[in-house]
């Protein structure tokens, strides 16, 4: 199996966010919202960190 770095990020974020949503909230609607929030944070954080590394490269 060969994944691009970005698709690996998407899969990691998706699965982790689902588990976080289910375990960290009590109501289904809040679970979905928290999972979506975590997913966006994971992906956006990774993209931001990637750009930061690109900017500080020698």
Partner 1 sequence: MTTKVQAAAAAGGKMGNGDAASTSVSPALVLLAGWLVPGTGHLLLGKWVRALLLMVSIMGMFAIGIALAGKVYTPNTGEPLDMLGFAGDLGSGVLYLLARLLGWGQAPVLVAVADYGTKFIVVAGLLNIVAAVDAHSLASGRKQS
Footprint of partner 1 (CB under 8 A):
1-3, 5, 8, 11-12, 14-16, 18-20, 22-23, 26-27
Q: Which two tokens stand for residue 26?
A: 């009590």
Write down the least CB distance from residue 1 to partner 1, Å.
4
Residues in the chain: 58
Nearer to partner 1, 19 or 40 (CB): 19
Nearer to partner 1, 2 or 58 (CB): 2
């Amino acid at each position: 199996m060969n994944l691009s770095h970005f698709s690996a990020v998407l899969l990691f974020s998706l699965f982790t966010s689902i588990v976080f949503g289910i375990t960290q909230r009590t109501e289904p609607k809040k679970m979905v919202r928290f999972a979506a929030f975590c997913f966006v944070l994971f992906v956006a954080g990774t993209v931001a960190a990637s750009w930061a590394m690109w900017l500080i490269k020698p």
